[in-house]
Chains A and B, each alone.
Chain A
Amino acid sequence: MLCFCEYACSEKNKLMKSLIFVVRSIAYGLALALLWLLLFQQNGVTQLNQWLQPKNQEQTAISYAKAVRAAAPAVVNVYTVTTQQDPRSYQRRIIQNQSLGSGVIMRADGYILTNYHVVNGADQIVVALQDGRQLEAVLIGQDRLTDLAVLYVKADNLPVIPQLPDIEPQVGDLVLAIGNPLNLGQSITQGIISATGRAGLSTNTYTDFMQMDAAINAGNSGGALVNSNGILVGINTAAFQRQRNLEVQGIFFAVPYKLAFTVMEKLVSHGRVVRGYLGLSGEPVINSSGERQYSTAQKFYGMKITEVENLGPAAVSGLLIDDIMVEIQGVMLTSVNQALDIVAESVPDTEVQIVIERRGQRMILPTRIGTRLDTE
C-alpha cells in the first residue's frame, strides 16, 4: 500500500513539474510576443488587425448604417399649409400654399426643432414620422435670426435624436445630412464639416453658421446633421446662394447644435428668444490709437465704436463714436463677435459695466442693456 502511494506521489509530482514547465514556457512565449508587440507596435497592430479582421470585415462592411439607424427615425417630415388671400384678385379668393421641410425630435416629450423659414406663417403644420404616423403640430416659438422654430406634438414612443451636450465638432469631421429633399422621402447624404461657424447668440446670418458639403436641397431644411456616430451636430438650414442662375454645389450651412439647443431651451421656456441690445456698431482695432485690425493674426485690442444709435442704450449711457471698448462686465474682449455675444446674452434691463478708452483715458460707463427688437 505504502509503496503504491509513493509511486503515485512521485508520479503526481512529475505531472505537476511537466505542467509547470509547459505553462511557464507558454507564458514566456506570450510575454515575448507582448514585448515584440509593444516594441514594434505599428507593425504589430496592422498585422494583428489583418489577423483579427478578415471575418469581421466580411460580416460588417464599413458603413454608416449604424449611425443612420440611431438617428434617422428621429428626423421627421414637416408639411405646412399657408392660407392667404390672392393679392391679384379683386374678389375674395383664398389660395393655399403647401410647403415642406424636415424636423428633428429633440425631446421624448414631443419638442421638435425645425427651421423658421419652413413654418413661418403656416396655418397648419403636420409632422410625419418615419414609422408612418402623421401628427398635427403646434408652433411653440420661432427665432428669425437663427432661422429656428420649435414645434410640439402630442404622441407616445417618440424616437429622440442622440445628443451630446458638450459636443465640439471640428473642421473635417464626417457628417450625414438627414431629411426629405424634394419630398422624395427620407434621404441620407454625406460630407464633411467645412467650417464650424459660431455658436454665439448674436449669430444672425447663415454665413456665421456651420458650413458643410453634404448635399442638401429644398425639403432638407430643418433636418438633422449628425456625425458618424449618429450624434446631432447641427440643423440643416441653407444652401449658399448669391446669384440667381448660378448653382453652387458643396457649400451648405447648418445651425450648430449648441446654438440650436440654447435657442430651443429659450423658446420652450419663454416662447421667444430675448437678446440684449446696445445700439452701436464697431470695428476691431489693434491699439489704443484706433488702427484697424485686418487679419486675425494681429492681436485684438478692442472694439472701436463707429456708429451709435440715437437714444439707444449706448447713447443714453454716454458712449461716443471713436471710443474703444475693451471690457464688458469684467470680461476682456477678444473679438468683435465675442463682444456681440456678451451683449446678446445679457438680460435686458440689467446694468453692465463697460470699460472704454477715450483719448488714451480709461473710463467705466454703467449701461442699461436694451432689448433687441426683431425687425425683418
Chain B
Amino acid sequence: MKMKLSVLTASLLAASLFTHSSYVSAKIPFWGAESGQEMPSLAPMLEKVTPAVVNINVAGNREVRQRMPDAFQQFFGQGELRREQPFRGLGSGVIIDAKKGYVVTNAHVINQANEIRVTLTDGRTFEAKKIGEDPESDVALLQINADNLAEIKIADSDTLRVGDFTIAIGNPFGLGQTVTSGIVSALGRGGLDIEKIEDFIQTDAAINSGNSGGALVNLRGELIGINTAIIGPAGGNVGIGFAIPSTMMKNLVSQIIEFGEVKRGILGVEGNDLNEEIAKAMKVKSTKGVFVGRVTPESGADKAGLRSGDVIVSLNGKTIQSMSELRAKVGSMGVGKSVKIGVLREDKQLNFDVKLSQADQSNVTAGTMHEMLAGANFANGKTQDGTAGVMLTEVAERSPAAQLGLQQGDVIIGVGRTKVNNVAELRDILSKAKGVIALQVQRENSVYYVLIR
C-alpha cells in the first residue's frame, strides 16, 4: 500500500515536471513573462556587445569634377574643372580582435579617407591604420593601437534561418550608438547592383546612413553580419536593409590580414540562375541552382571535370540558389582553397572537388606592410637551395623598395634573427617591429641585410 502510494507520488511528480517543462517552450519572445519574474530584455546581452561596436569618423580629400560653366566656356574651353575638395564622413565598425585591435568596417565608409578616427563607447578616440580593403565586397579592415578593447564573437552565418531575430548596432546619422531590432527577412540576396559581390542577409531592423560597417548580431550577441546598405526610395529606412554575412566577412578579413588584400579565387564557370524555362529546355528536374553555360579551360572547374550543361546545386554541402550567391561565396574564400561542388548532371547527383584558381595574377603589394617597401610585390617563394621565404616578384623603378636596393628575384628569408617562411609571417613580424628593421635577403647565392627605418 505504502509502496503504491510512493509510486503514485513519484508519477505525480513526474507528471508535474512535464507540465512545468511546457513553460520552457513558451511563446516567443516573452519566454519568461508568464512567471512574472523578469521582463524579457536585450539589455544584458547588449551591455556585453556594444563596447565592441565603434563609431568611425573620416576626413580626406576627394576629387570633384565639375563641368565648365557656360559663361567661361569661350575662355577656357569645354574642359572639366577638377579640384580637390575636403570631405568628412562617418560610419560604424566592429572590433573582431581585441588583442591586435582589428576593426572591420565597410570599404565605402573609409573610401578616399586619409584620416580615420575610431571612437569607442567608453569615449576613447584612436587614430586607425588601414590594413586593407576589398571594394568589390565592401569590406575593409582597420587597426587601432589600444588596450582593454572588447571584441565581438563571430557566429556562423551559414546556420541562419529566415525568421531569426537580428539586432543592428551602429551610429545612424552620427547620433551616437543606436540599437535597433528586427528579423532575418531573407538570405542570399543578390542582384541588387549595390556591390560587385553580393550575398546579403536582408533584415527589417532599421539601418540608416551611418550604420554602415556596424554590427548585426543574433540574440546571443554574436556577429552575424556587417550592415552595409539599404533600399529606401526617400533615403531612409523602409524595412529593407542588407548586411554582409559574418562568415563571408571572416573569410575576406583573414585574407586581408594575411595578404593586405583579398586574393579572389574563382571556379572558372559562367552561368545563369536556373529557372523553369532553362530547366524545361534542358530537362533538369530541379528549378533552383546555377546552370553552367561555359567552363573556362584550364580553370579549377575544368580540371575537376565540370562541364557546360551541369547544374550546380550545392557548395560545401550548402544549397546554392543563384549565380550571385555562388559568386559571392566562392569570391570570399581565397585562392587555392578546395571546395566541394554538388552538381546535377543528367539527373545524377555528382560531387566535385574544385581547387579555386586565381582571378588575376596580382601579388601582395608590399607597401601595405611597410611604407618603405612600397613599389614591391611579394609572393611566397623559395631560394635556389630550397629555403622557404618571401620572394619579390616585382620591384617598381625608383620606388622606395628599389631605393633600398631590393631587386626582383630576391628572397626575404628572415627579419633580424627571426626566420620568415611566408608572407603572413613577414606581415606579422613587420607589424610588431619598432625602430630599425633588418631584412635578411638572399640573392642567388649570397645573403645580405637591408636596413629599413
Contacts and interface: CB of A to CB of B under 8 A. Distances in A.
Interface in B156-197: 161-165, 182-186, 189, 192
Interface string B1-27: 011011101101100110011011001
Contacts of B186: 184-188
B419 interface: no
Given A56-B24, A187-B186, A31 B9 contact: yes
Interface stretch (B32-40, B65-73, B96-104, B445-453): B32-40
B374 interface: no
Nearest to A239: B238
Interface in B315-336: none
Interface in A16-55: 20, 23-24, 26-28, 30-31, 33-34, 37-38, 42, 44-46, 48-49, 52-53
B57 interface: no
Contacts of A69: 163
Interface stretch (A57-65, A257-265, A315-323, A354-362): A57-65
Contact of A184 (B3, B23, B220, B231): B231
Contact of A215 (B5, B161, B220, B240): B240
Interface in B220-235: 220, 231, 233-234
Contact of B182 (A174, A184, A189): A189
> For A45, A66, A214, which residue has the most chain B Cβ atoms within 10 angstroms?
A45
Contact of B219 (A27, A45, A56, A61): A61
Contacts of A49: 23-24, 32, 35
Contacts of B12: 31, 34
Nearest to B25: A56
A363 interface: no
B35 A26 contact: no
B287 interface: yes
B128 to A, nearest CB: 33
Contact of B239 (A61, A68, A189): A189
A131 interface: yes
Contacts of B185: 187-189
A133 interface: yes
Contacts of A65: 161-164
A176 to B, nearest CB: 7
Contacts of A189: 182-183, 185, 204, 239
A13 interface: no
Contacts of B161: 63, 65, 68
Contacts of B383: none
Given A132-B276, A182-B231, A185-B189, A27 B6 contact: yes
B380 interface: no
Contact of B36 (A34, A42, A131): A42
B275 interface: yes
A37 to B, nearest CB: 7
A47 to B, nearest CB: 10
A235 interface: no
Contact of A31 (B13, B182, B202, B234): B13
B24 A131 contact: no
A103 interface: no
B28 interface: yes
Given A24-B2, A44-B20, A247-B233, 10 more contacts: A24-B6, A27-B9, A56-B24, A61-B220, A65-B164, A68-B161, A131-B288, A132-B276, A186-B186, A217-B239
Which 7 interchain pairs have the tightest Cβ spacing? Answer: A215-B239, A132-B287, A27-B6, A64-B163, A68-B163, A65-B161, A189-B204
7 contacts: A23-B3, A52-B24, A53-B24, A65-B163, A215-B204, A216-B239, A249-B238
